[in-house]
């Protein structure tokens, strides 16, 4: 996880850092660390039935050499125009959970993949191949997701 994931103790704390103005009902899944040298970390939130149609502001803690700890997120509407097969998130969504730590996103990977391929949701992505972060906001599906691939 980004720096905030290392400094916070609970999923709720991490959600408050990354989505500071987002109301959510509960945390559905949270993985803040990976076991081997590569894998996926994630946060999956259940949104309320009254979730706003516009995505929230995202704050991305950055551990770059510049130590700029807050970056504003920029959202794109779905469907996602690029194939997931060419992104680092592909391993998190479809990789073998027995061989790749965090793959499958605690059973939410198929739903996240479907959300990205249909209209009525939002996504944004930051970073290179390693440390790449994907944010998904899907008010109709009632999910908000932070997914990170890397070490």
Given this model, what pLDDT does residue 100 score?
Answer: 79
Query: In this prediction, what percent of the chain has a pLDDT beyond 70?
Result: 77
pLDDT at residue 65 greater than cutoff 70: no
* Predicted pLDDT of residue 98: 73
Q: Is the pLDDT of residue 40 over 60?
A: yes
- pLDDT at position 69 is 36
User: How far from the centroid of its chain's Cα atoms is residue 98's Cα?
Assistant: 21
Q: pLDDT higher for 108 or 86?
A: 108
Please give the full DSSP string across 18-62, using - where no structure is assigned.
Answer: HSTT---SEEEEEE---SSSSEEEEEEEEPPTT--SSPPP-B---
With a cut of 90, say whether residue 24 has pLDDT above it: yes
Q: Which helix (H) or strand (E) holds 146?
A: strand 143-150
């Amino acid at each position: 996880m980004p720096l905030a994931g290392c400094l916070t103790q609970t999923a709720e704390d991490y959600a408050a850092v990354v989505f500071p103005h987002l109301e959510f009902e509960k945390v559905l899944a949270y993985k803040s660390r990976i076991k081997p040298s590569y894998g996926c970390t994630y946060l999956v939130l259940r949104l309320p039935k009254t979730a706003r149609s516009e995505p929230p502001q995202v704050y991305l803690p950055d551990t770059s050499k510049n130590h700029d700890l807050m970056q504003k997120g920029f959202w794109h509407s779905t469907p996602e125009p690029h194939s997931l097969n060419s992104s680092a998130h592909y391993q998190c969504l479809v990789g073998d959970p027995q061989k790749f730590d965090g793959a499958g996103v605690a059973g939410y990977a198929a739903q996240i993949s479907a959300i990205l391929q249909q209209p009525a949701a939002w996504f944004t992505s930051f970073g290179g191949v390693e440390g790449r972060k994907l944010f998904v906001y899907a008010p109709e599906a009632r999910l908000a997701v932070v997914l990170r691939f890397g070490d």
